[in-house]
A and B are shown apart, each in its own frame.
Chain A
Amino acid sequence: MTALDDHIRQVTEFVATMRRQGRPVRQFVLPPGANDLRAGLPIQLGAGANPGIILRSETFVELGNPDAGSCGFALWTEKPSLLEDGRVTLIGPDIAESPLASLPFGQVVMAGGAHLIGDDQVSLGQAQVVADQIEGYMVRSNSRNIWSRVSKQVGARGFSFDTLARALMFLIKSAVPRVESVEIAFVTSSKGDVLTLNEIAESAQAIGRAALKEHWKARGYDLDCDLHCGSCDDKTVCDDLRKVLATRLRKDKEAVGDDAQ
Chain B
Amino acid sequence: MGSRANGTNLISVCGKGGTGKTVITAMMARALLDSGRAGRLLVIDADPALGQLSALGARVRRTMGQIREDIIRTARRGNRDEKAEIADKVDYMVFDALSEMDGFALLAMGRTESLGCFCPVNSLLRSAIETLSRSFDTILVDGEAGIEQINRQVTQRLDTLMIVSDPSARGMETAAVVKDMVQREKIIECGKMGIVFNRVTGNEQLLEDSARRIGLSLFGLIPNDPAIAEYDLAGTPIMQLPADAPGPRAVRNVVETCLLA
Contact = CB atoms under 8 A, between A and B. Distances in A.
Interface of A: 51-53, 55-57, 66, 131, 140-143, 145, 147, 209, 223-224, 253-254, 256-257
B200 interface: no
Interface string B88-101: 11011101101010
Contacts of A254: 186
B92 A145 contact: yes
Contact of B135 (A52, A143, A253): A52
Given A57-B103, A140-B95, A209-B81, 8 more contacts: A53-B98, A53-B132, A57-B100, A66-B61, A142-B88, A223-B80, A224-B80, A253-B186
Contacts of A145: 92
Interface residues on B, range: 20 to 34
A66 B98 CA distance: 12
B119 to A, nearest CB: 11
Interface string B174-202: 00000000000010010000000000000
B100 A143 contact: no
B243 interface: no
A64 to B, nearest CB: 10
Nearest to B156: A253
B135 A53 contact: yes
B40 to A, nearest CB: 7
B135 A141 contact: no
Given A147-B92, A253-B186, A254-B186, A142 B85 contact: yes
Given A53-B132, A57-B100, A141 B92 contact: yes
Contacts of B244: none
Contacts of B103: 57
Contacts of A223: 80, 84
B99 to A, nearest CB: 10
Contacts of A253: 186, 189
A123 B72 CA distance: 29
B103 to A, nearest CB: 7
Contacts, number: 45
A141 B89 CA distance: 7
Interface of B: 40, 61, 80-81, 84-85, 88-89, 91-93, 95-96, 98, 100, 102-103, 105, 132, 134-135, 186, 189
19 contacts: A52-B135, A53-B95, A53-B98, A55-B100, A56-B100, A66-B61, A140-B95, A140-B96, A142-B85, A142-B88, A142-B89, A142-B93, A143-B85, A143-B89, A209-B81, A224-B80, A253-B189, A254-B186, A256-B189
A140 B131 CA distance: 12
Contact of A140 (B61, B80, B91, B105): B91
A143 B105 CA distance: 26
A131 B91 CA distance: 11
B40 A142 contact: no
7 tightest A-B CB contacts, nearest first: A52-B135, A142-B89, A56-B100, A53-B135, A140-B95, A140-B92, A142-B92
Contact of B186 (A51, A56, A141, A257): A257
A66 B84 CA distance: 21
Given A53-B132, A57-B100, A147 B186 contact: no
Contacts of B186: 253-254, 257
A239 B171 CA distance: 41
Nearest to A226: B80
Nearest to B62: A66
A141 B94 CA distance: 11
Contacts of A52: 134-135
